[in-house]
Amino acid sequence: MFIITTKKILIECIRYSIRMLIMFTIIITYIFFILWLMLQLTSASYWNTLFHLLPGSFRNDDTNRNIYELIESRGFKYEQHFVETNDGYILQLVRIINPLIANDDEHYNRLKPILLHHGFQCTGTSWLIARNGTLLSNGIFQEYSDEHESTASYGNRFNSYPTKDTVGDSLGFVLATKGYDVWLANYRGSIYSTNHTRLRTDSSEFWKFSIDEMILYDLPAEIDYILEKTQRKSLSYIGHSQGNLMMFGLMSLSDYYSERIRPFIALSPVFYHDGGIRSALTRFIPFIDYLRSNPSMVPFSSGTRSFFSNVCENILTKQLCFNMFYQFTGTIMDNINPNRLTVFTSNIGMGSSSWNAAHLLQLYKRLDGNFTSFDMGDSVKNLDRYGQSEPFNYDASIINSTNIALIYTENDWFNTIEQIERLRKTLPKKLIDDYLIPNEWYGHVDLLWGYNVGKMVNQRILNILNHY
């Protein structure tokens, strides 16, 4: 009996080892094949075609769609608006147009304008990609279960929501069908906002900006522009991550803009940093000096994003890619639709300046956790920039807005509950909402792309907006 069992175990072990060896060989072969290809070709579209010829590959059409294609693929239209900032950057706002509403000022100005502001390394596409869907002729935005997506293996866990009352997952489209005039921000230096009145992106001058400039110039220019265009006195704002850091920063400097943002809904309200950040982004802290002294676009090559996303569209590489995604975002596999992983990865790494990255890393490093302006790394340069030898402190305790809502999650690798607690205690006025998502595994980007985000987050947002 004992011998037979041992023999069985031994055979199982050998079988297992052989399987692992085969897997390993296949993966190594792939890696070498890919590296070899990298040396042969440079154009991204060649790559994408070639990767999809490999066995085990699958495709999600959204992976290579840009912001305009994403909007059109769901049955909406868009407008491009170019907004010039006081320091000469030309930012692109993309407005989602619901084709069932006559596109003239008279009809459109009846809708409440809302500005959606993405986080670090993202763009307006953040708000569009949670799920596949279509605008139906009866005005309902219908989203599909992942049966419609390639290599569906997760059954019907992602149910579709066909009725008028249910709320979809892709917030941008949801709002565009629920009475809002949706504007998508793209901060300076992202792939959609690379224009400047004087500077070109191949000059390092262009890239000399941090979060401070986005606060001082980008947000005011965008807000002024939309209010002027829509003939309104106030504007709703939803931020994710750095989009909130920026708005809190602006509100701490200006009551004028505080009064114009009604309401400000912060998905992952980033402000203080307590050293509890778990994202692999913190591994770049040693590179602060390098990033600061080489003002340039990060990531350094714009092709990288698409390259990796296309490599990841293969059953062999998928898990590896997911692990990388997890290291940075903390999102667990159960919380996103795994067939859309490459859609998410291809919409991260959309560009910003190395100073933006250095600014965040400086904040992660600070012992007091304060949100301070960009540290030029030397007191003379700081003096030149700020009139004082140290960066200045953004002070949340003087924010006078009475229209702020915080929505956050427990498993957020960028924003701990303690950080948020400190912000909540510092904000002097009563909040209009203070909401912890009731799912302990929900993470930072799950607020945009997570499982059931329509019910979990978007419904809450609509309830808040209803009061305005």
Ligand X SMILES: *[C@@H]1O[C@H](CO)[C@@H](O)[C@H](O)[C@H]1NC(C)=O
**Which residues sit at the interface with ligand X, rule CB under 6 A?**
60-62, 82, 90, 92, 132, 144, 148-149, 194-195, 252, 255, 368, 370, 393, 398, 400
Q: How far is the CB of 240 from ligand X (least distance, A)?
A: 22
Kindly tell me which of 61 and 418 has the beta carbon lying closer to ligand X.
61
Which amino acid type is present at position 90?
I
Q: How many residues does the chain have?
A: 468
β-pairing, 141-143 vs 297-298, is unpaired
Pair of tokens at residue 301: 């090559």
Kindly tell me which of 31 and 431 has the beta carbon lying closer to ligand X.
431
Q: How far is the CB of 278 from ligand X (least distance, A)?
A: 23
Q: How far is the CB of 449 from ligand X (least distance, A)?
A: 14
Q: How far is the CB of 82 from ligand X (least distance, A)?
A: 4
DSSP string, 29-81: HHHHHHHHHHHH---HHHHHHHHTTSTTB---GGGG--HHHHHHHTT-EEEEE
Kindly tell me which of 65 and 444 has the beta carbon lying closer to ligand X.
65
Q: How far is the CB of 255 from ligand X (least distance, A)?
A: 4
Kindly tell me which of 95 and 444 has the beta carbon lying closer to ligand X.
95
d(CA 251, CA 124): 22
Kindly tell me which of 368 and 440 has the beta carbon lying closer to ligand X.
368
Pair of tokens at residue 152: 């569906």
Kindly tell me which of 188 and 292 has the beta carbon lying closer to ligand X.
188
d(CA 382, CA 372): 12
Question: Are the C-beta atoms of residues 51 and 317 closer than 8 Å to each other?
Answer: no
3 state SS of 429: coil
Q: How far is the CB of 179 from ligand X (least distance, A)?
A: 25
Residue 23, Cβ neighbours under 10 Å: how many? 11
Kindly tell me which of 294 and 372 has the beta carbon lying closer to ligand X.
372
Residue showing tokens 């009996």: 1
Q: How far is the CB of 23 from ligand X (least distance, A)?
A: 28
d(CA 353, CA 297): 5
What sign for the dihedral angle of Cα 290, 295, 296, 299?
A: positive
What sign for the dihedral angle of Cα 443, 437, 190, 371?
A: negative
